[in-house]
């Protein structure tokens, strides 16, 4: 039995990871943690019978304890609870599917405990890649990407050890507003931005796809995951979302990973790496594919992507400022307090006012985040 713990079990990635555990039947879920969704977490506990379950708020944790008092599960809360779950000796793999920088400390704790990481929390590497990747190498653990694009690159690199990578090509669907110009996005409403053409995702990441900030975060993450320079990463808009990403080698050969848009594939690949398992569902039918098309991203209309390259080029704590500003701006947009086009404007303003730190530690990363939040609250 493969033993896993999941941080973010009630979100999109977490629920699909549990779907895989349900289907494969040789995964033991030893711990679950969620934000505030008490009802769904209770259902998951009753089905998977973990040893520990966590919620972010103490009030919600108290509610959960009362609900599951008939089950031998210990309920923990807050960051202390996440750290306990991350380091628990019973788990072999930690699935980090929480949203936001709260994933940094638990990921570090899990690596220090010698656990492999199935990484679906972009913010961990975006803001702390300079800490996470050397630590993982030191401890001899795998960082296994769950994002479809990074998993595609990871799979395309398999068997090519020792060969020089010329370029990583990250594909992007273009989101719901592909082809539109800036003036056409002025009146975009929340409902418009939540209509992704290909993928079913959580609200925050769906907005990130609409702004293409999500692709900017993936560029930052790819730099750390695969040890390449920023000039070796190219974003390619591919509306069909069939090619999930590609690697070009120094001889000009390009290796790509293809498949239908289904997040279960990269999740399952991370959980069972280096082995593949049967996965039920529709298969890619090349006879039905009329065409695969590719476009250059519009960095003027989708300036959030341009800003990501700028933040990563300078590095330090600027990627943290970028990420924190986007998190807050997306929340404000979802609350209908700002316009869609204000999201990248807020990111740029926060990057401009950030006090630059070249080699931030975890505390300084979190202080940068808090400073960005305070700045946004003072202006918006």
> What is the average pLDDT across 297-324?
97
Listed in sequence order, the residues at least 6 apart from 233 whose beta carbon sits closer than 8 Å to its beta carbon are 167, 168, 170, 219, 222, 223
What's the pLDDT tens digit per position in 95-152?
Answer: 999 988 999 999 999 999 999 999 999 999 999 999 999 999 999 999 999 999 999 9
Tell me the three state secondary structure of residue 314: helix
The two tokens of residue 339 are 């316009």
The answer, yes or no, to whether residue 205 has pLDDT greater than 90, is no
- Across residues 294-322, what is the average pLDDT? 97
Give the C-alpha separation, 82 to 53, whole Å.
9
- pLDDT of 299 > 90? The answer is yes
- Its pTM stands at 0.93
Average pLDDT on 187-213 reads: 87
Which pLDDT score is estimated for 162?
Answer: 85
d(CA 159, CA 257): 14
Could you report the per-residue pLDDT of 82-98, keeping only the tens digit for each? Answer: 999 999 999 999 999 99
| CB burial of residue 194 (10 Å; 0-12, 13-18, 19+) | middle
Tens-place pLDDT, residues 310-321: 999 999 999 999
Tell me the pLDDT tens digit for each residue of 219-252: 999 999 999 999 999 999 999 999 999 999 999 9
pLDDT at position 201: 73
Q: What is the pLDDT of residue 241?
A: 93
The per-residue pLDDT for 302 is: 96
What is the predicted pLDDT for the residue at 134?
98
How high is the pLDDT of residue 362? 96
**Mean per-residue pLDDT over the chain, rounded:** 95
């Amino acid at each position: 039995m493969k033993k896993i713990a999941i941080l973010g079990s009630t979100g999109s990635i977490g629920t699909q990871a549990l779907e895989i555990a349900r289907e494969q039947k040789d995964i033991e879920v030893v711990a679950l943690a969620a934000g505030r969704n008490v009802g769904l977490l209770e259902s998951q506990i009753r089905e998977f019978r973990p040893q520990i379950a966590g919620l972010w708020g103490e009030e919600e944790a108290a509610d959960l304890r009362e609900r599951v008092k008939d089950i031998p599960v210990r309920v923990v809360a807050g960051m202390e609870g996440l750290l306990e779950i991350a380091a628990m000796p019973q788990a072999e793999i930690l699935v980090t599917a929480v949203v936001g920088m709260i994933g940094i400390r638990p990921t570090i704790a899990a690596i220090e405990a010698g656990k492999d990481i199935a990484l679906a929390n972009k913010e961990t590497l975006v803001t702390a890649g300079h800490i996470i990747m050397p630590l993982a190498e030191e401890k001899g653990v795998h960082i296994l990407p769950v994002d479809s694009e990074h998993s595609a690159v990871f799979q395309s690199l398999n068997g090519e050890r020792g060969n020089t990578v010329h370029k990583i090509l990250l594909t992007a669907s273009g989101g719901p507003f592909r082809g539109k110009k800036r003036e056409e996005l002025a009146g975009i409403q929340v409902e418009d931005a939540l209509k992704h053409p290909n993928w079913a995702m959580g609200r925050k990441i769906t907005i990130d796809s609409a702004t293409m900030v999500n692709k900017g975060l993936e560029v930052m993450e790819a730099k750390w995951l695969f040890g390449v320079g920023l000039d070796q990463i190219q974003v390619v808009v591919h509306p069909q979302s069939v090619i999930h990403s590609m690697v070009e080698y120094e001889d000009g050969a390009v290796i790509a990973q293809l498949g239908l848009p289904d997040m279960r594939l990269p999740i399952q690949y991370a959980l069972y790496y280096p082995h593949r398992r049967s996965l039920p569902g529709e298969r890619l039918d090349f006879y039905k594919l009329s065409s695969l098309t590719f476009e250059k991203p519009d960095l003027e209309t989708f300036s959030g992507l341009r800003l990501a390259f700028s933040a990563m080029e300078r590095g330090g704590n600027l990627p943290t400022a970028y990420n924190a500003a986007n998190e807050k701006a997306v929340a404000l947009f979802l609350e209908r307090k700002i316009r869609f086009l204000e999201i990248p404007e807020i990111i740029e303003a926060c990057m401009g006012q950030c006090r630059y730190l070249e080699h931030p530690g975890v505390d300084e990363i979190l202080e940068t985040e808090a400073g960005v939040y305070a700045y946004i609250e003072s202006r918006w």
